Amino acid sequence: GGNLTGTARGLKKAGAQPRIVAASVDLSGLHMASDTQFNKKSFTTGHTGFGMPFSTWPDRSDVPRSAARPLRYMDRYLTVHQGEVFYMTEVLASLEGLEKGPAGNTALTAAFALAQELDQDQMIVVQETEYTGAGKHIQPQLSFARENGIEIKFGDPKDEVPGKNIILPSHPSLIKVNDADLVHMRKSLIKNAVANYKVTPTEEDIEFLALETNSNVEFVKSVLAEL
C-alpha cells in the first residue's frame, strides 16, 4: 500500500496523469495467521493476503492512521500466480543478469501480461516492492515448497491452487492477469469504516470516503443505504 500510495502521489504532484495499476500474487484460500498455511506459500510480501485487507481497511496497521491509502489511487488491481512470478524471475536473471527475490518481480510479471493489451506506443512504468533486492533465490524457495508438500510442475498457471501446487507456465503466452473487483473492494472499505468507527457518517465523512475509495459521493451514499 505504501509503495503504490507514494508512487501515485509523486506522479500526480509532478503533473502526470497515469493509470495506477496495483499487482499482487494470488494467495486466496491461504490464511495468513496460520503457521501451517504460512509455510505453504512462497511469498511473504506482495500477495493478496496483505494487499486485499490493507486496501479495504488501511488503518488495521499498528499506527492510529496509516499513510498508505492505496484504494484512493487504484485504477486496476491485478493478480498473478506464484508460478508466473517464479518464471519471470528466472527470465529476468537469464536475459538481463538481474537476480532478485521473486516477490520483487510481482509487478514485472503483471506488466508483462498487461503490455500485451496496450498499443505499441504506450508505456508501463514498473515500481516494485521493498523486496526488489532481497536475497531469496528461487531455487531454495522452490525446494522449501516441495519439502512442505507443494507440487511443482509446468503447465497452465490458471490451474494453480495456492497451498497445493506451483505451476510454472509451459509457455510465456500463458502468463495472464486477473482483475480484482474494485467495486466490491470500495464497498468493503466503506462498510469497514462504518463498522470500526460506529458512527453515522456526516457529509464531511461521506466526502472523505469518496476520496478513500476513488469514487464519488453518490456511490458512497448508495453503499451506506444498503447497510
The whole-angstrom separation of Cα 208 and Cα 225 is 17
Q: Do both 153 and 209 map to the same domain?
A: no
Q: Can you tell me whether residue 174 is helix, strand or coil?
A: helix
What CATH number corresponds to the domain at position 146? 3.40.50
**Beta carbons of 103 and 136 less than 8 angstroms apart:** yes
> Which of 180, 202, 218 marks a domain boundary?
180
User: Which region among 59-63, 74-78, 129-133, 216-220 has the lowest average model confidence (pLDDT)?
Assistant: 129-133
Q: Do both 150 and 226 map to the same domain?
A: no
Question: Which phi and psi angles does 77 have, rounded to 5°?
Answer: -130, 110
List, for residues 18-61, the tens digit of each pLDDT value: 999 999 999 988 777 676 776 677 776 778 888 899 999 999 88
Q: Do both 27 and 56 map to the same domain?
A: yes
With 70 as the cut, is the pLDDT of residue 129 above it? no
pLDDT of residue 38: 67
Q: Do both 195 and 171 map to the same domain?
A: no
List, for residues 147-185, the tens digit of each pLDDT value: 989 999 999 999 999 999 999 999 999 999 999 999 999
Buried b (16+ CB within 10 A) or exposed e, 183-216: eebbbbbbbbbbeeeeeebeeebbeebbebbbbe
Q: Do both 115 and 125 map to the same domain?
A: yes
List, for residues 59-103, the tens digit of each pLDDT value: 988 888 899 999 999 999 999 999 999 999 999 989 998 887 787
Q: Do both 104 and 213 map to the same domain?
A: no
Q: Do both 148 and 212 map to the same domain?
A: no
Q: What is the mean pLDDT of residues 188-192?
A: 97
Q: In what order do the strands lie in the sheet with 21-25?
A: 21-25, 76-80, 178-179
The whole-angstrom separation of Cα 158 and Cα 156 is 5
Chain-centre distance for alpha carbon 169: 20
Mean of all residue pLDDT scores within the chain: 90
Q: Do both 226 and 135 map to the same domain?
A: no
pLDDT band at 1 (very low <50, low <70, confident <90, very high): confident
Q: Do both 87 and 24 map to the same domain?
A: yes
**Beta carbons of 106 and 23 less than 8 angstroms apart:** yes
pLDDT band at 16 (very low <50, low <70, confident <90, very high): very high
Q: Do both 156 and 66 map to the same domain?
A: yes
With 60 as the cut, is the pLDDT of residue 200 above it? yes
Q: Do both 124 and 187 map to the same domain?
A: no
Query: 221: domain range?
Result: 182-227
How many domains are contained in the chain?
Answer: 2
Q: Do both 49 and 157 map to the same domain?
A: yes
- As a whole-number percent, the residues of the chain with pLDDT over 70 amount to 93
